[in-house]
Chains A and B, each alone.
Chain A
Amino acid sequence: MHIVSIGYSYPSTILDTATLREPCDGRYDELSSHFGISTLRSVVPVGVLREEPSSIPWARHKSSGETPSTLGAAAVRSALEKAGLTIHDIKLLLADTCTPLETCPSEGQRIAAQFDLKNEKGESYFFPVYDVTGLAAAFPLHLETLLSWRREEVPQYVVSVSANAPTLTSTYERAIPETLVGDAAVALILSPTIKGRFAVLDAQSSFDTSNGEMFINGIYDATRINYGDVAPLLLSQLETQLHYAIEKHNLNPSALHIALGTLNSKDARELLVSKGIQSARICSASEESGYSAGSAPALSLAKLWDEVPPGDHVLMLSSGPGLSSGVVVLQAV
C-alpha cells in the first residue's frame, strides 16, 4: 500500500492568542503556551466567537459557509489534483469526522456529493462511499483496514479523508483545553499497486472505550475534556503506539520522523524526546492550527511531505477522543 498524494484544507479564519484573550480571560496566553499552540483555524467567523462565545452548538454552525464537508471536499480535490486523478478514478472513499452537521447521510457521502459525479453521458457515477469513524485513530484505522483486506478487495485508488471542525462545539468563555482545537481536513490517495511518496508498512489503531467519557461531545452539547485525568492517558497511548512500531519494525528512534497529532503537542514532544526521538524531527501541525482530532497527524505528514529523504521512516502518531490512538509506519520512497 502506498500514499500516492495528500491534500489538506483549512478554513479561512485564523485565530491568534490575542483574538481569544478577551473572551477566554487573560490566562489564554498561558494556556496556549503550555500546550505549544500559537494559532488556531476555525470555520466560525471571529466576530461570532467574540460576541457569542457560548452560542454553541445550536446556532453557531449556521454562521459560516464552511463546514467539515466543504473542508473535506477541498482536501480531496487537492489530493486528486496532486495525483493527477479525478473523482471517477476513485473506487472507494472512506471518511471520518468527529463533528458531523448531519447524522445522516454519512460525512463521506456529503463530501463526495460536492464533486461532479456525472459521466460524459450524464449518468451518475456510483462507488462505495461510507464513514469508518476512528476519531483520533481515523487514518491508522483506515489504513489498518485496507492492509487487512484481501488484496483483490482493495481498489487501485482509494480516498481516505478525515474532516473536522471542533471549534463548532467549543465554548470560548474561559481558558480551558477545549479552546485549543482547530478545524481542518486531510485526504490521502492510497493505492495497493501504484507507488507513491510513502510506502505504508504497518498501521494499528487502538480504543480505550472505558475512558471515553473523559473527552466527550454530546450530540447537542459543547465538548468537555476532563484534562487532568485524560492528559496522562493520551501520553501513555502515544508511548504504547511508539513502542509497538519501534519494536515490531526494529526502528532506530533517533532516525525517525514523527508526524504527530494529539491535544498537547508540548508534552508529547517532551515524551518523544525522552524516548530518543530528535526534537527537530517531530512535526506537529496542531501547533499552528489547533488540534483537529482525526486530521491532526496527517496534517503533520503534509508538512513533512517534501522533507523526508528516501528510505527514512515516518511514524504517523496520534491519540485523542474515543479514547483512541494509532500509529502508521511509513517509509519514504
Chain B
Amino acid sequence: MLNILGMGHCHPTGVIDNKFLEELGTGTTAQWIEEKIGILERATTLPLDYIRDTRNLDPRGALEVATMTPTEMGVSAARIAMERAGVTASQIGLLVCNSCTPTHAMPTEGQVLARELGIEGKAYDITTACPAFALHMDYVGKFDEDKLPEFILCVSTAALTQNVNYNDRSDGAIWGDGAAAWIVSARHHGRLRMLDSYFNADPSRAHAVVVDRYGHFRQDGRAVRNFSVLQTVRLVKRLEEMFSLDWNNDVFIGHQANRTMLEQIVNNRDIPANSHWHNVSYLGNQAGAGAPAVLSQHWDEIRPGQKVAVAVVGAGLSWGSVLLQA
C-alpha cells in the first residue's frame, strides 16, 4: 500500500492577468477569457515586457529571460515535500520526474533535479504530460513493495508559458507555470494512503496536443475539451461506483485545464463547491503540476478519513485517476 508522506508546490511570482492579454491586441478581451475559460490570472516565469515585445515568437528567447527554469521550480517544490515528509535527500532512493518543457534532452529532467537536490538514488523521467500524477502513482504502485526504496520522490514540473505563441489569443489565455512534488513510501505511513490508481491512453489522438521541441504548444482545442470533460466524468464515476464516495465529505481534484471545464464536471457529478479543490482560476493550466499542486496547497486541510479523488487527463491522449484516503 503506497502512502504520500508530504507534498510541495512552487509557482513563479510573475502574473499574466486578462487585462494584459487584452492589451496585447490579439482580438481577445478580459471579459471573453473569464466567461469562456474562467481563468483570471496565470503564474509565469516570463517577464511581461518580454511577452509584450516579442510575443515569444522564438521560444529560445524565453529560456534566456525566464526568472525560473522548470528544474528550479521542481527543486523548490521537492524541498517543501521533503520537509513536510521529514525526509532528507540522502534517504530518497528513487526520483521520477515528468516535464513537457524540459531544458535538456540529456541528461533527463529527473537526473538534473537529482543532482541539484543531492539525491544519489536512481533518477529518471516517466512522462505523459498532464496526467503525470496518476501515471507516477500507478507506476510506483505496481512494484513489489520489497523492491521499492524506502522513500520515492515524484516531481512534475512545467513552464509552458515559455512555449506559448502570444499572438494566439487562445493559447496565451490557458497556460501557467508551476511544479509539484510528493514523497511516496510503501513502508512508512503518511497523511494519505492510496486506495486505487488507474492510467490509460488513446495514442490514435497523440497529435491533438503537441509541444514542439523547436516551436510552440498547439492543440485541437475543441476535441481536447470534449475529451477532457467526458473522460474525467468517466474516471469520477468509476471511483464513485468502486468506493461509495460521499461528496459531502470527500474531495474532488481534476486536471487544472480551465475553470469552466471543471464546472461542467462537478455539475455532472453533483459535487458541491466546498468539495471541489482547484487553483486554475489564478494560476492557469500548469500541465502535470496542476492537480498535485492543488493537493499540496490544501495539505493541512485534509481531514482524517476523508477521501481525495484526483482525476487527470491530457496529452497522449492519456488519462488516469488516484483515490487517496487520509
On A, residues with C-beta under 8 Å from B are: 57-58, 61, 98-106, 108-113, 115, 117-118, 124-135, 141, 145, 148-150, 153, 169, 205-207, 209-210, 212-213, 215-220, 223, 293, 321-324
What's the least CB distance linking A234 to chain B, in Å?
13
Q: Which of B181-216 contact A (CB under 8 A)?
A: 199-207, 209-214
B209 lies within 8 A of A219 (CB): no
**Is residue B101 within 8 Å, beta carbon to beta carbon, of the partner chain?**
yes
Report the minimal beta-carbon distance from A205 to chain B, rounded to whole angstroms.
Answer: 7
Q: Give bound CA distance, A117 to B60, whole Å.
A: 36
CB-CB < 8 A to A111: which residues of B? 203
A126 touches B200 (CB 8 A): yes
Query: In the complex the two chains form, is A207's CB within 8 Å of B123's CB?
Result: yes
Who on chain B is nearest to A111 by CB? B203
Please measure, in the bound complex, the distance between the C-alpha atom of A127 and the C-alpha atom of B229, giving whole angstroms. 20
**CB-contact partner of B124 in A141, A169, A217, under 8 A:** A141
Selected A-B contacts with CB under 8 Å, 11 pairs: A61-B213, A100-B105, A104-B211, A129-B316, A148-B147, A207-B111, A207-B114, A209-B111, A209-B120, A210-B115, A322-B107
- Please state if B315 and A105 are interface contacts (CB–CB under 8 Å): yes
Number of cross-chain contacts by CB at 8 Å: 185
Q: Is B100 an interface residue (CB 8 A)?
A: yes
Interchain CB contact (< 8 A) of A117 among B115, B125, B203, B207: B203
Taking the closest CB of chain A, its distance from the CB of B323, in whole angstroms, is 18
Report the bound CA distance from A61 to B60 in whole Å: 16
Please tell me if the beta carbons of B115 and A212 are within 8 angstroms of each other in the complex: yes
- Interchain CB contact under 8 A, A205 and B122: yes
Q: Is the CB of B122 within 8 A of A135?
A: no
In chain B between 87 and 107, which residues have their CB closer than 8 angstroms to a CB of chain A? 99-107
Of the residues B106, B107, B125, B287, contact of A131 by C-beta under 8 Å: B125
| Contact of A219 with B104 in the complex, beta carbons under 8 Å | yes
- Say yes or no: A216 contacts B126, CB within 8 Å: no
Q: Scoring B residues 263 to 297 as 1 if CB is less than 8 Å from chain A, else 0, what string do you get?
A: 00000000000000000000000010000000000
| A217 proximity list for chain B (CB < 8 A) | 104-106
Q: Which of A99, A108, A220 contacts B60 (CB 8 A)?
A: A220
**With known contacts A102-B212, A220-B60, A127–B200 Cβ distance under 8 A:** yes
A118 to B115 alpha-carbon distance, docked (Å): 43
Known interface pairs A58-B214, A102-B211, A103-B102; A133-B201 also in contact (CB < 8 Å)? no
- A residues in contact with B101, CB < 8 Å: 103
Q: Which residue of A lies closest to B146 (CB)?
A: A148
Alpha-carbon gap, A103 to B209, bound state (A) = 11
Please choose the segment from B23-31, B127-135, B248-256 that sits at the chain A interface, where 4 or more of its residues have CB less than 8 A away: B127-135
Which has the most chain A C-beta neighbours within 10 Å: B63, B202, B206? Answer: B206
With known contacts A130-B318, A218-B104, A110–B142 Cβ distance under 8 A:
no
Nearest CB of A to B207, in Å: 7
Contacting residues, chain B, for A209 (C-beta < 8 A): 107, 111-112, 114-115, 119-120, 123
A109 to B129, CA, bound (A): 11
Q: In the bound complex, what is the Cα–Cα distance between A126 and B203 (angstroms)?
A: 7
Q: Is the interface of A mostly helix, strand, loop or mixed?
A: mixed
Which residues from chain B contact A150 at a C-beta distance below 8 Å?
142-144
- Asked whether B108 is an interface residue with its Cβ less than 8 Å from the other chain, the reply is yes
Shortest distance between the CB of B137 and any CB in chain A (Å): 13
Using CB atoms, name the residue of chain B closest to A141: B124
Q: Report if A109-B201 is in contact (Cβ < 8 Å); known contacts: A153-B142, A216-B107, A322-B111.
A: yes
Report the bound CA distance from A212 to B95 in whole Å: 15
B112 cross-chain contacts in A, Cβ below 8 A = 209, 212
Restricting to B52-94, which residues have a CB under 8 Å from any CB of A? 59-60, 63
B200 touches A133 (CB 8 A): no
**With known contacts A130-B126, A216-B106, A101–B200 Cβ distance under 8 A:** no
Tell me the bound Cα distance from A284 to B142 in angstroms. 34
Q: Are A127 and B206 in contact (CB under 8 A)?
A: no
Do A135 and B209 touch (CB < 8 A)?
no
Bound CA–CA A98/B111 (angstroms): 13
Q: Name the distance in Å between B166's Cβ and chain A's nearest Cβ.
A: 19
Q: Which residue of B lies closest to A133 (CB)?
A: B125
Contact A105 B209 (CB under 8 A): yes
In the complex the two chains form, what is the Cα distance from A133 to B139 in whole Å?
13
Q: Which residue of A lies closest to B115 (CB)?
A: A209
- Please report the C-alpha to C-alpha distance between residue A209 and residue B95 in the assembled complex, in whole angstroms: 11
Is the beta-carbon distance between A128 and B201 smaller than 8 angstroms?
yes
Please give, as numbers and ranges, the residues of chain B lying within 8 Å of A98 by CB-CB distance: 105-106
Contact A219 B318 (CB under 8 A): no
Q: A residues within 8 A CB of B123?
A: 207, 209
Q: How far is the CA of A210 from the CA of B142 in the complex (A)?
A: 29
Bound-state Cα–Cα, A139 to B83, Å: 34
What are the 3 A-B residue pairs with the smallest beta carbon separation, nearest first? A212-B107, A112-B203, A104-B100
Cβ of B135: which chain A residues have Cβ within 8 Å of it? 130
B217 / chain A contacts, CB cutoff of 8 Å: 104
Taking A104-B315, A219-B105 as contacts, is the C-beta distance between A131 and B206 under 8 angstroms? no
- Minimum CB–CB distance for B112 against chain A, Å: 7
Identify A216's interface contact among B104, B127, B212, CB under 8 A. Answer: B104
Within the assembled complex, what's the spacing in Å between the Cα atoms of A109 and B114?
26
**Chain A's nearest CB lies how many Å from the CB of B196?**
14
Smallest CB gap from B147: residue in A: A148
Instruction: Among B142, B202, B213, point to the contact of A126 (Cβ < 8 A).
Output: B202
Interface centre among B105, B209, B315 (most CB of A within 10 A): B105
